[in-house]
C-alpha cells in the first residue's frame, strides 16, 4: 500500500543532517554490559539553503541494521520505501553568517533517534537547529560514529515495575480517575512512587544526557546556533517528561513541549517558570496533568482525539494497527503536531 507522506518541509530552508556521538566522561554506564562511560547518539537536523542541495541525493533515514531492529520491535514485516529516505541531505552546507535557535528532541523509552523525523525536519526547514538525542541501551537501537551500536537492554523490563500485574491494574484505575488536575496528579504521584520508581529516576539521567549534548553542541556548532533566547526542549513519551524536567532544572532551557508523556519525576514544592505546552491523547490525560498547574508561566494544552500514544511518532505512517496508533488520519495528526510546535516555538523561542 502506497503511503502518502506529509508536507514536512514547509519552510524556506532545505534540511541538512549529521550524526555524531557524545561521551559523558563523568558518568559510568550502568546499563547494557555496564562498560565504559555513558555514550549518547545524536542526529542533527539543520537549515540549509535549497540551492546548496539541489545536486545532492536524499539521505537514508535508517541503516540496514537499524531498519531490521525496528521491524522486529514493531512486528512489521516491511517498511514502505517511502519511509526509508527523508527529504534531508547528509552533511549539507550550513547557512553561513546566520544563526538559528536550538531545539532538543528526546525520544520515548524503547523508541529511537529518528522516531519523529518528519517533525524535526519541519522545524529545521522553518529555521531551527534540532538535535535528537539517543539514550544508550534505552532505545530500540543506537548507532555510534565508531561503528558500534547497542540495543535495548531487556533487563530493564524487570526493573521498570515493582509488580507488572499490580502496576497494570493501578494504571488502569488511574486513567479513569475523575477530579481536578491537582487531585489527579496526586494519584499519579502516588502511583509512580509505588510502582515505577525506576522510570521516575531515569528522567534525571536523560536530563544529564541532554545537557551533555548541549555542551557538545556549543563546541561543535556554536557558530550556527543562536542561544540569545535560550533553548527549546520537546520530546515524545519519556522524552516529553524530560522536556518538563529540563524546564524545571536547567536555566538554559527557555520553554518546553511534552508530546503525550506521563510527567514522571519528583516535583514536590516546585513551581514552573517556563512556558510549556502539553500535548496528549484523551486516554493519557490523567498522567500528564502535572504540567498544567503550579506554574507562573503560560501553559497550553492540546488534546488529540482518536489518537493512541505511539501514533504521535512516525510509526503512525508504517504501523497499520489503529489500536496502537489511533484512528486519526496520519497526515491530519502530523499537520496538527507540527503546527502546535511551530506556533509555540515562534512565540516563546524566537520571540515574535
The pTM score is 0.96
Mean pLDDT of 6-33: 96
Mean pLDDT of 221-233: 96
DSSP codes joined into one string, 186-232: HHHHHHHHHH-HHHHHHHHHHHHHHHHHHHHHHHHHGGGEE-TT-EE
Residue 6 lies in a domain: no
DSSP codes joined into one string, 254-313: EEEEEES----S--TT--B-S-EEEEEEGGGGGGSGGGGSSBSS-EEEEEETTB-GGGGS
**What CATH number corresponds to the domain at position 156?**
3.40.50.1820
- pLDDT, one tens digit per residue, over 209-219 is 999 999 999 99
- pLDDT, one tens digit per residue, over 293-341 is 999 999 999 999 999 999 999 999 988 889 999 999 999 999 999 999 9
Q: Which residue has the higher pLDDT, 2 or 18?
A: 18
Distance from the Cα of residue 58 to its chain's centroid? 23
**Which sign does the torsion angle of CA 281, 285, 291, 295 carry?**
positive
Residue 1 lies in a domain: no
Q: Is 313 exposed, middle or buried (0-12, 13-18, 19+ CB in 10 A)?
A: buried
CA distance 177 to 191: 12
Mean pLDDT of 87-111: 96
Residue 197 lies in a domain: yes
Mean pLDDT of 268-288: 97
Q: Is 327 exposed, middle or buried (0-12, 13-18, 19+ CB in 10 A)?
A: exposed
Q: Which domain holds residue 197?
A: 14-350
Residue 7 lies in a domain: no
> How many structural domains are present in the chain?
1
pLDDT value at position 148?
96
Residue 8 lies in a domain: no
Residue 137 lies in a domain: yes
Inform me whether the pLDDT recorded for 244 exceeds 80. Answer: yes
Amino acid at each position: 500500500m502506497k503511503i502518502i507522506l506529509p508536507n514536512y518541509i514547509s519552510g524556506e530552508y532545505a534540511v541538512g543532517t549529521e550524526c555524531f556521538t557524545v561521551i559523558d566522561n563523568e558518568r559510568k554506564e550502568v546499563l547494557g554490559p555496564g562498560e565504559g562511560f555513558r555514550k549518547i547518539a545524536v542526529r542533527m537536523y539543520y537549515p540549509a539553503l535549497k540551492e546548496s542541495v539541489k545536486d545532492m541525493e536524499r539521505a537514508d533515514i535508517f541503516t540496514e541494521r537499524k531498519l531490521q531492529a525496528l521491524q522486529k520491535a514493531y512486528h512489521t514485516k516491511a517498511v514502505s520505501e517511502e519511509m526509508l529516505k527523508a527529504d534531508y541531505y547528509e552533511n549539507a552546507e550550513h547557512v553561513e553568517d546566520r544563526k538559528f535557535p536550538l531545539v532538543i528532541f528526546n525520544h520515548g523509552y524503547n523508541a529511537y533517534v529518528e522516531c519523529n523525523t518528519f517533525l524535526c525536519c519541519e522545524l529545521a526547514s522553518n529555521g531551527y537547529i534540532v538535535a535528537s538525542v539517543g539514550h544508550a541501551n534505552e532505545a530500540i537501537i543506537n548507532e555510534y560514529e565508531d561503528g558500534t551500536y547497542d540495543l535495548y537492554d531487556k533487563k530493564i523490563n524487570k526493573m521498570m515495575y515493582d509488580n507488572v500485574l499490580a502496576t497494570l491494574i493501578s494504571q488502569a484505575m488511574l486513567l479513569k480517575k475523575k477530579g481536578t488536575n491537582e487531585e489527579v496528579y496526586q494519584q499519579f504521584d502516588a502511583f509512580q512512587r509505588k510502582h515505577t520508581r525506576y522510570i521516575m529516576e531515569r528522567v534525571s539521567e536523560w536530563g544529564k544526557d541532554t545537557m551533555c549534548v548541549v555542551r557538545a553542541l556549543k563546541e561543535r556548532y556554536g557558530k550556527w546556533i543562536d542561544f540569545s533566547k535560550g533553548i527549546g526542549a520537546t520530546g515524545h513519551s519519556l522524552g516529553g517528561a524530560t522536556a518538563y524536567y529540563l524546564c524545571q532544572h536547567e536555566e538554559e532551557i527557555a520553554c518546553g513541549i511534552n508530546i503525550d508523556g506521563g510527567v514522571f519525576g519528583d516535583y514536590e514544592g516546585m513551581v514552573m517558570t517556563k512556558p510549556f505546552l502539553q500535548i496528549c491523547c484523551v486516554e493519557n490525560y490523567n498522567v500528564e496533568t502535572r504540567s498544567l498547574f503550579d506554574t507562573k508561566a503560560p501553559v497550553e494544552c492540546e488534546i488529540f482525539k482518536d489518537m493512541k500514544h505511539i501514533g504521535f511518532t512516525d510509526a503512525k505512517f508504517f504501523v497499520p494497527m489503529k489500536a496502537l496508533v489511533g484512528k486519526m488520519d496520519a497526515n491530519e495528526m502530523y499537520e496538527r503536531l507540527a503546527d502546535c510546535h511551530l506556533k509555540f516555538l515562534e512565540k516563546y523561542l524566537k520571540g515574535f
